[in-house]
Structure 1
């Protein structure tokens, strides 16, 4: 368990370092905090630090893992993929904080879930884990209507219209749900190769 605690501490440190370096890069601009990327990394920093020190319910660890995996997946497959309709040129693509926030931390969290998670996870958690992304959607749209600026192109009601944002949001919601199911399924499959490692759900 010391190895698991150390790995989770490393994951928390990676997330925290990414946020700190981003704030240094932007001169402490508080606008950075509105991004799902920063918020999901902050959640990972807190949850994994607590998990390194003791037990955190699998529902919470799973949620944090899903959100950070969403961050990495959307960044690499949607935002920086030239074939994506939402491709965006990222001037900070080669910075250290970008690597930590969008690549290393998501990978570390995914590895933790697949190799170190010992808890059974009910499939319906994948649905409950959507609560935060949906809340973020509401936040982004309300804020955008006030300041006329949106954090991500697929949430830009000014460009897509509210119908376009609704369609893209529904597509992403389904994909995020399926991603949650995939994490739960792959985590369960991985536990089968670790006999005696399963503990009660929610521990």
Structure 2
């Protein structure tokens, strides 16, 4: 009696298909992680309150970039499977939110929520360096990594809703933190559109709905683009060599 071979479908793909080192992706991701970490360290070193610095969405999203990109760099260097798309896609969304909100809202004097006219947020010296690293370099680096160094078609529509749990949790954190802090405390509310003293709870809730819808549309856009974007192939992107067998 001949015993049939076990079903191949039950074996994880990464256990069957050999993985190859991707040094270019590893080095690029390590540089993005270093940029995020450098910006965070600068902000912490020039601030008189580490807790205040860590309360900003900008810092939290860049901490996530530093961790996820460092781990992704290690996996690419050691020929291990990539991190789950839910994690990498969420990191991409959050750092894109950081860059877009800063450049189009916080640094835009016509937005109504600009921080550029606030003496407390004057950007000079090392703060200017960290500002560019955290709001410009890391978002651009994350997008380039996604477009050039990752396989398309991995993001799913369900991811978009799950990703929004973090911005929602941050919104609740910002309001609770502001409510328990003494009025007049610097940066009691981390961003102008979350300032209850200025807009009231109804106004802040309205702002949150608008921003939340924008974030969801951005998440859907990332999923849609991921499905139609071409795969950039290079020597290190091949999962097996021509001489390795039928798998190419």
Alignment TM-score > 0.5, same fold: yes
Question: Which residues of 2 match residues 2-151 of structure 1 at below 5 A?
Answer: 2-27=23-48, 29-54=50-75, 55-89=82-116, 90-92=121-123, 95-119=128-152, 120-147=154-181, 148=183, 149-151=188-190
Which residue does 2:78 correspond to in 1? none
Residue in structure 2 matching 1:161, options 194, 200, 203: 200
Contact 1:12 1:46 in 2 (8 A): yes
**In 2: Cα distance, 1:39 partner to 1:14 partner:** 14
Runs of 5+ in structure 2 lacking a partner? Answer: 1-21, 76-81, 240-248
* Superposed displacement of residue 30, structure 1: 2.8
**In 1: Cα distance, 2:231 partner to 2:238 partner:** 9
Distance 1:126 1:198, change over 3 A: farther
Q: Deviations over 1:20-69 (max 9, x none)?
A: 11112225633111000000000100011111111211110111111011
Which residue does 1:190 correspond to in 2? 229
| Count, aligned residues | 198
Runs of 5+ in structure 1 lacking a partner? Answer: none
Q: Deviations over 1:116-135 (max 9, x none)?
A: 12151112211110010000
Which of structure 1's runs of 4+ aligned residues deviate more than 3 A? 191-195
Distance 1:24 1:132, change over 3 A: same
CA radius of gyration, larger in:
2
TM-score by length of 2: 0.75
Distance 1:138 1:93, change over 3 A: farther
